Structure 1
Amino acid sequence: MGAVIHSAPLIVPVSRPPIPDGAMAVRHGVVLDVGPRREVLAAHPGGEEMRWPGVMVAGLVNAHTHLQYTRMAEVGRRVYDSFEEWSNAFDAVYFSSDGMDWEASAREGALLSLRNGTTAVADVVTDIEAVSVLGQTGLAGISYLEVLGDTDASWAATGRRHLTSTVRELGGVDGGLRAVHLGTIGISPHAPYTLDTGVLADLAILARTFGLRQHIHLLESVHEREYTVSGTGPIAHLVRELGFDFEILRAGGTGHGPVAFLDALGLLGPQCHVAHGVHLDEDERELLRRRGVSVALCPRSNQTLGLDGPPVAALLREGGDFAVGTDSLASSPSLDLLEDVRLLRTLAWEQGYRAPDLSRRLVEAATIGGARALGLATGPGRVGRLETGARCDFAVFAIDPGDGDPYRTLVEDGPGRCVATVTGGDQAGRVHLVNSGTEAFREC
């Protein structure tokens, strides 16, 4: 089969400067060549050309979401006064959702993501029925198996055995679910306040044993620091109300903030990325940089919970790795990642970051930055950029490809204007096209 040539008035590969009248040659869902249209067509004679109207951009990478909560959007339509108030509202709906089809809910979220230009996700999976949705819908990324609510005693009795057997099954070690493979799953120790100290330490060991990436909620609430330092405050009260007898509560805290606490347990390293980081201080940001840990910023979710915005300007100035996430519809108004990018631009400006590279660096965070957070920025099948050897993942936006700054135009005008999304090939070498609310596979 010859190459398929995707062309557009402007291509934003992210890994190199934008290409006016650009084209990209693809075969079996893998990029062969990208450059000026005239050169690509000459290098691949006889290739079928697909001309896209608008700006073609490397597929967006949503570095933190919970697709299974798509049908819990009623929770995310309100604005709350605190993290704790939202948590109570979420629990009330989640624990009354007997009979919920989590797989169908996650699939709806996956398609909404695709329709907004996202082609890869870090999806936190609480209910195992939702774990195979990425493979079913053409999304790249990692399904992180969430672990929460275990004391050291319950972990030793049943929790550890359940997780390890699930990992082996999904990885095909014991037959397994064929839609999921070891390497496309990870582990998500939910947060420092939802698991006992020994469980958190053991999860770090298990992740290394199985070679799995980790993803953790960190410093979303201002009260998280109080919890780990002294075992007190609203989060400690909430945890006690839920009936968890964690060591950190019995001991009156650890004397350390959440980042130092997780680091001492061996959880922080280049195989891990964290979500939110709203209340990271300077020393904590520096520790995350040293450990190679990226932060997925979810500013619209933070707004819904009545929280401050994340320290995006500081991360930009200091050079810390960060990515962008939407969180779920249970805490955010949509799964349009560019809406979060646009809000991050506003927050960065308000926090004093006025450098001319702002829009470009935010687009990079939503593409290459997300790929780095998931460990998918290098090697075969890499995502977040349009270059030879990468997956054919891109989105087309109905925005002006004129002479201005395409990154700024994408950030300011791109939300809500994705007209097509293409994801790299499945095992049959087909690509997934999502356009105007419909989806289809075709040879590419």
Structure 2
Amino acid sequence: MPPDPSDCRIISARWVLPVSGPPLKDAAVVIEGDTIVDVLFKEELSYKYPPQFLEQLPEEPHDYGDAIILPGFINLHTHLDYSALRCSDVESGMFDWICGLVERSSRWSPEQWRSSAAYGAREAALSGTTCIVDSSFSGLSVHALADTGLRAVVGLELFGLRDDEANAVWGHWLNRYDTLKNTTESRSRVATATGKIKLTVAPHAPYTVCPTLWLKAATWAQEKGLPLLAHLSESRHECEWIKSENRRVDEYLTFVKRLFNPALPLNDKGILEELSQIRWKGRGLSPTKHLKNYGLLDNNLIAAHAVHLDEDDVKLLTQCQVKVAHCPRSNAKLRNGRAAIEKLQAAEIEFALGTDGLASNDDLNMLNEARFAVDLHRAANPELQWTSERIIGSMTRDAARILNLNHEIGTIEPDKLADIAVFKLEHRTHGTENPYDLLVHGKSRLQDLFVDGRAVVVGGELVEE
């Protein structure tokens, strides 16, 4: 059935990167409603779409000129909740940083949480991201993302160290989930009902979630057909804590318990004694082996960071088809080290880039994340093969496949949803015609952004509704 011209938009540029195939020079994309219906060379437009068709378009075909049209970026790991804490601590390591983060945000009202998340969602959109995978403590990032018009998978975070409290904690989490699903806010309600925003569970990390509670989350996510979001082996401290003991993690867990339970006695002895009696840790296992030991590694898990992995860990992630969200700038800023992506590549573990949150990064710009990543890994491993084409593929096609959304987004081809970014180029600064290199290593700026065919950014500015 031919497209309805009254519901169509035609955009073109010097380059279209379908990602599913080779770059197309001087090409166009035809969008009908929320869907891509055609990708073709500009010279084909006149005979494939006659004047009568073009005359019925709501707007004339838009030629962006010296620009690149490509799928919108997918950010595989963020914490939009904490966006307002940008630059709040740029010196501390992981656990000093996270204590400050938790303490500052513990005093926020719901309006402050939402405003913080909205700030992050807008920044992400303005740098070319159309889909965000967000781990949310408050759950209010759902509203921020819906208001901005972005696609998302939002994991409502889950915490709980005690097996004997797992049922109660899980019941409380389910109530929070139901409240979000049944929100009275129209944009959020529509976004979750249509699947534009998917709500899932995010057990925070092996050092903050006991196996009994994690199993409830993993079972629920599998039954719902949703990914499970978690942090894994981000720091050496947590790896040591799971394996045997680590004083800094004990101090952090004590601090958090006291912060949210001010009526507890001032003496920390009781809390430390409770931590020492945890039976599921201290068995000489890495976090990865710990999860495997309890049957909690599966192909549904998207593990953020995965910095500290030994050879056996890598084998387990491969066997269980675990996916990884690679966050190189956050790993560096929090002094956690470098994730050896060459090991992930060699083991054929699926991974894609994430920025983490603004509280542990300079921005939410996926191209900036890519530039840092390629320089970091080439410096550490000069033999690494990670081309610009592969990097862009990681932020689009590969991330969509990890989310099981590759039938909808991640490439520019007919029948896919029109999640599209348009970047203007400054060619006088460039010495190459490779469009992938122009994006990753050249100078460009976001011009327009479309989600479901609807303009979210126009002329570098957010569209306000």
For normalisation by structure 1, the TM-score amounts to 0.88
> Paired residue for 1:196?
210
Instruction: Check the 8 A contact 1:228/1:248 in 2, yes or no.
Output: no
In 2, Cα distance between the equivalents of 1:367 and 1:311? Answer: 21
In 2, Cα distance between the equivalents of 1:169 and 1:15? Answer: 39
For the structure 1 residues 42 and 431, does the alpha-carbon distance in structure 2 shift closer, same or farther, using more than 3 Å as the test?
A: farther
For the structure 1 residues 84 and 321, does the alpha-carbon distance in structure 2 shift closer, same or farther, using more than 3 Å as the test?
A: same
Summarize deviations over 1:184-238 as a string: whole Å, max 9, x none: 1111000111122321122112222333321101111012221111143432442
How far off its partner does 1:347 sit?
1.8
1:437 aligns with 2:449: no
How far off its partner does 1:21 sit?
0.4
Higher deviation after alignment, 234-243 or 13-22: 234-243
Summarize deviations over 1:227-258 as a string: whole Å, max 9, x none: 11114343244224434645874565133211
> Paired residue for 1:162?
172
> Paired residue for 1:110?
121
1:44 aligns with 2:54: no
1:181-260 aligned at under 5 Å gives the runs: 181=193, 184-243=198-257, 245=274, 249-250=278-279, 253-260=282-289
In 2, Cα distance between the equivalents of 1:119 and 1:338? Answer: 13
- Candidates 31, 53, 69, aligned match of 1:56: 69
1:314-393 aligned at under 5 Å gives the runs: 314-354=343-383, 357-378=386-407, 382-393=408-419
Aligned residues: 430
In 1, Cα distance between the equivalents of 2:412 and 2:149? Answer: 17
In 2, Cα distance between the equivalents of 1:299 and 1:22? Answer: 34
Residue 178 of structure 1 aligns to a residue whose secondary structure is helix
Could you say which structure has the larger radius of gyration?
2
Instruction: Check the 8 A contact 1:313/1:353 in 2, yes or no.
Output: no
In 2, Cα distance between the equivalents of 1:241 and 1:175? Answer: 35
- Residue identity over aligned pairs, in percent, reads 29
In 2, Cα distance between the equivalents of 1:52 and 1:439? Answer: 18
Residue 101 of structure 1 aligns to a residue whose secondary structure is helix
For normalisation by structure 2, the TM-score amounts to 0.85
Instruction: Check the 8 A contact 2:155/2:229 in 1, yes or no.
Output: yes
In 2, Cα distance between the equivalents of 1:248 and 1:44? Answer: 72
Structure with the higher fraction of residues in helix conformation: 2
- The amino acid that maps onto 2:381 is G
How far off its partner does 1:127 sit?
0.7
- The amino acid that maps onto 2:234 is E
For the structure 1 residues 439 and 347, does the alpha-carbon distance in structure 2 shift closer, same or farther, using more than 3 Å as the test?
A: same
In 2, Cα distance between the equivalents of 1:71 and 1:283? Answer: 39
Residue 88 of structure 2 aligns to a residue whose secondary structure is helix
For the structure 1 residues 141 and 252, does the alpha-carbon distance in structure 2 shift closer, same or farther, using more than 3 Å as the test?
A: closer
How far off its partner does 1:89 sit?
2.1
- Candidates 274, 283, 301, aligned match of 2:330: 301
Residue 355 of structure 2 aligns to a residue whose secondary structure is coil
For the structure 1 residues 123 and 99, does the alpha-carbon distance in structure 2 shift closer, same or farther, using more than 3 Å as the test?
A: closer
How far off its partner does 1:120 sit?
0.4
For the structure 1 residues 335 and 34, does the alpha-carbon distance in structure 2 shift closer, same or farther, using more than 3 Å as the test?
A: same
Please report the RMSD computed on the Cα atoms of aligned residues, expressed in angstroms.
2.7
- Structure 2 segments unaligned to the other structure (5+ residues): 55-59, 258-270
In 2, Cα distance between the equivalents of 1:251 and 1:432? Answer: 47
- Structure 1 segments unaligned to the other structure (5+ residues): none
